């Protein structure tokens, strides 16, 4: 959570409490082991009783919380069951004077927890809470094992500093790091000095992955539109496998339909995210976090131990589901292949030379519009790509036919493309969208791969590409849980940029992230029978076989059916737009295909079936937004 996010939060609270005065905490300086002090605000429901304490450590100015305390407390401190202590990080705001060159925030957290436990108004039990950077410091504090720290509830955060968090697919996350620099972290210099995976990254990753040192229950809260999805899922699995035995079964995870927060109305716990609304998720992060704290800090018998290991929100269906591991089941990888005319289909392509080009100009990159962004001024969460991204001429768009049944995606998605370029380096980026019946193309997730990193991310892995040579490249998308509803389409947008979310490749193949020649690239994606580009989804129920397809007998006349060597196909209507006619076997194999660029009249089309195996087949006619199917039998 950054300053703008807190300001938005505070502004909302000011409207709600426009006739109220801010809280007046007790302001103290908490001593650290090196003799310096950290500035802190203490909030107590009363001056008589002892209370368990919720500690928040922030780099974003503790005084903002005077307008509204978290976890639904607001300005109603007297009704709270907890005291709150909110501390400015060393080197930030009220704790600036305590700054040192390399602060150990975990040790600072330890000192704060133990100081709190020794106060007369504390009952000795401390829990920690907070999003983003306020979540990462919770892991650092827990690692130090303060005796009076009981539990932690980090939101949209993990302990890690991973290479692929800052260079996914080998591409620098421009807007993300720029925002971190603006907030005072100053990370860009060291990151740009290490653009490949090296010993520095290996040491950093090992130093910040320490599940064996987390000896308290952790309740992790994340969101499907947050940039920390992979980080959180990786850490949660590690906590369950490697934290001390006494707490290994006590960790829990909730993944909602939430963005990271930072500006606008999207934040963890809100029902409104981007241009979509999820009323079934509103308030859940606060209510479950309070149950968690009540159980461990107050000893309330609220059945928390029986809360599911993981609770996740299924986008599209707008409901909560539970599981013990992620993904929740061993789902098959369903491949949807790219085809000419923008079709995304489970049948492998049969054409010998199909391909399409993207003209990519680094001076006019495909713009970032929503998604897992952080920078102030960018939109966050699900936004319609149709007008801003898909209306441009530097994009390839591939969509499924209109779905005839709900299709559930639970897990990761990867694209495997055959590509080439006329330059020595370039990027290929994808966006996964959910296309609504009204034409909205709502962003689900995105990913990118820099071609010099096609083999891996170490210096030894990297090399220029040869202009004109065809390569296979993989682009990974993070986990999600979404149901693409019947009547919708599943879409993949392919570009060579997504700026400023990712750095724009100059296409010259030279040293990255320095000034140089900016070249326009002609990039090609292939989808032929020898170079079948595809996207692999963790689908629970995609209709890959004829028996799963919906029949629409009123739109297509077939005779004779069963066929005895010849089949006549006669549609009930004229199609003015180009028509794609396909016939699939019961295993999903395409056995017949014809493109009718001038449309299709209500005249019969003859198909020779004399050499086909006996069995059930599915006929599909696609024209524009319309798709009609019909089953037939070959004797």
In order, the DSSP letters of 280-293 are: GGTTHHHHHHHHHH
User: Which class for 246: exposed (0-12), middle (13-18), buried (19 or more C-beta within 10 A)?
Assistant: exposed
Nearest 5 degrees, angle CA 215-CA 56-CA 186?
95
Could you tell me if 304 and 384 lie in one domain? no
Shared domain check, 435 and 392? yes
User: Looking at residue 613, what is its pLDDT?
Assistant: 86
Does 296 reside within a domain?
yes
Total-model pTM: 0.86
pLDDT of residue 263: 62
Given a cut of 90, whether residue 612 has pLDDT beyond it is no
Within-domain flag for 24: yes
Q: Is the pLDDT of residue 461 over 70?
A: yes
- Tell whether 579 is covered by a domain: yes
In angstroms, the CA 143 to CA 511 distance is: 39
Q: Residue 10's pLDDT is what?
A: 45
Percent of the chain with pLDDT over 90: 78
Q: Please state the domain count of the chain.
A: 3
For residue 395, the number of C-alpha atoms closer than 13 Å in the C-beta half-sphere is 21
pLDDT tens, position by position, 116-162: 999 999 999 999 999 999 999 999 999 999 999 999 999 999 999 99
Domain edge (last residue) among 508, 542, 576:
542
Same domain, 310 and 375: no
Could you tell me if 536 and 553 lie in one domain? no
pLDDT band with cut points at 50, 70 and 90 for residue 625: low
Q: Are residues 371 and 241 in the same domain?
A: no
| Domain ranges, residue 554 | 547-634
What is the band of 8 on the pLDDT scale with cuts at 50, 70, 90?
very low
Look at residue 5 and tell me whether its pLDDT is greater than 60. Answer: no
CATH number of the domain that 285 lies in?
Answer: 3.40.50.1820
What's 421's domain CATH number?
A: 2.60.120.260
User: Per-residue pLDDT for 13 more than 60?
Assistant: no
Residue pLDDT, tens place only, 279-298: 999 999 999 999 999 999 99
Per-residue pLDDT tens over the stretch 344-383: 999 999 888 999 999 999 999 999 999 999 998 999 999 9
Whether the per-residue pLDDT at 538 is higher than 70: the answer is yes
Same domain, 107 and 238: yes
Tell how far CA 403 is from the center of its chain: 23
pLDDT, tens digit, for every residue of 219-270? Answer: 999 999 999 999 999 999 999 999 999 999 999 999 999 999 866 667 899 9
> How many degrees, rounded to 5, is the angle at CA 336 between CA 586 and CA 343?
95
Residues 309 and 386 in one domain: no
Q: What is the pLDDT of residues 387-443, one digit of tens each?
A: 999 999 999 999 999 998 999 999 999 999 999 999 999 999 999 999 999 999 999
Same domain, 512 and 405: yes
Q: What is the CATH number of the domain that holds 577?
A: 2.60.40.3080
pLDDT for the residue numbered 137: 98
């Amino acid at each position: 959570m950054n300053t703008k996010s807190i300001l938005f939060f505070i502004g909302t609270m000011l409207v709600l409490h426009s006739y109220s005065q801010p809280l007046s905490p007790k302001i103290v300086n908490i001593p650290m082991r090196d003799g310096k002090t950290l500035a802190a605000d203490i909030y107590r429901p009363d001056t008589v009783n002892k209370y368990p304490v919720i500690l928040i450590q922030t780099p974003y100015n503790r005084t903002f919380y005077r307008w509204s305390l978290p976890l639904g407390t607001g300005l109603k401190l007297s009704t709270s069951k907890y005291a709150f202590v909110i501390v400015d990080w060393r080197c930030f705001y009220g704790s600036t004077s305590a700054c040192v060159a390399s602060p150990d925030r975990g040790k600072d957290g330890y000192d704060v927890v133990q100081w709190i436990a020794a106060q007369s108004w504390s009952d000795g039990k401390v829990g920690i809470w907070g999003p983003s950077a306020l979540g990462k410091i919770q892991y650092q504090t827990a690692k130090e094992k303060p005796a009076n720290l009981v539990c932690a509830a980090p939101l949209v955060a993990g302990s890690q500093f991973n290479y692929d968090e800052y260079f996914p697919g080998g591409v620098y996350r421009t807007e993300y790091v720029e925002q971190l620099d603006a907030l005072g972290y100053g990370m860009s210099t060291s990151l740009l000095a290490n653009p490949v995976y090296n010993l520095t990254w290996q040491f950093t990753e090992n130093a910040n992955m320490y599940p064996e040192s987390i000896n308290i229950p952790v309740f992790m809260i994340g969101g499907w539109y947050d940039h920390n999805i992979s980080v959180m899922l990786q850490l949660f699995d590690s906590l369950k496998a490697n934290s001390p035995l006494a707490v290994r079964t006590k960790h829990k995870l909730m993944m909602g339909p939430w963005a990271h927060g930072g500006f606008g109305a999207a934040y963890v716990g809100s029902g409104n995210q981007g241009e979509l609304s999820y009323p079934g998720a509103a308030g859940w992060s606060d209510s479950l976090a309070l149950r968690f704290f009540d159980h461990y800090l107050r000893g309330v018998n609220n059945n928390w131990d029986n809360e599911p290991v993981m609770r996740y929100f299924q986008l599209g269906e707008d409901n909560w589901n539970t599981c013990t591991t992620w993904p929740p089941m061993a789902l098959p990888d369903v491949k949807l292949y790219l085809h000419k005319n923008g079709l995304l289909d489970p049948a492998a392509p049969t054409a010998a030379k199909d391909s399409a080009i993207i003209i990519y100009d680094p001076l006019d990159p495909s713009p970032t519009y929503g998604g897992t962004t952080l920078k102030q001024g960018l939109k966050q969460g699900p936004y319609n790509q149709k007008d801003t991204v898909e209306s441009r001429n530097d994009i390839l768009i591939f969509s499924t036919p209109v779905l005839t049944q709900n299709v559930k995606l639970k897990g990761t998605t990867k694209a495997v493309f055959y590509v080439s370029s006329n330059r020595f380096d370039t990027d290929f980026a994808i966006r996964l969208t959910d296309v609504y019946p009204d034409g909205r193309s709502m962003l689900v997730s995105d990913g990118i791969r820099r071609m010099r990193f096609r083999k891996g991310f170490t210096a030894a892995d990297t090399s220029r590409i040869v202009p004109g040579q065809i390569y296979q490249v993989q682009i990974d998308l993070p986990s999600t849980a979404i149901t693409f509803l019947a009547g919708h389409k599943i879409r993949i947008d392919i570009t060579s940029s997504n700026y400023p979310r990712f750095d724009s490749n100059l296409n010259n193949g030279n040293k990255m992230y320095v000034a140089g020649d900016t070249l326009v690239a002609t990039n090609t994606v292939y989808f032929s029978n020898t170079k079948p580009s595809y996207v692999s989804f963790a689908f629970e129920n995609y209709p890959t076989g004829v028996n799963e397809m919906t029949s629409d007998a009123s739109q297509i006349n077939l005779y004779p059916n069963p066929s005895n060597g010849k089949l006549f196909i006669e549609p009930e209507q004229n199609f003015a737009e180009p028509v794609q006619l396909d016939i699939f076997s019961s295993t999903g194999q395409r056995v017949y295909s014809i493109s009718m660029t001038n449309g299709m009249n209500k005249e019969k089309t003859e198909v020779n079936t004399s050499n086909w195996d006996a069995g059930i087949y599915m006929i599909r006619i696609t024209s524009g937004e319309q798709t009609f199917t019909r089953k037939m039998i070959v004797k």
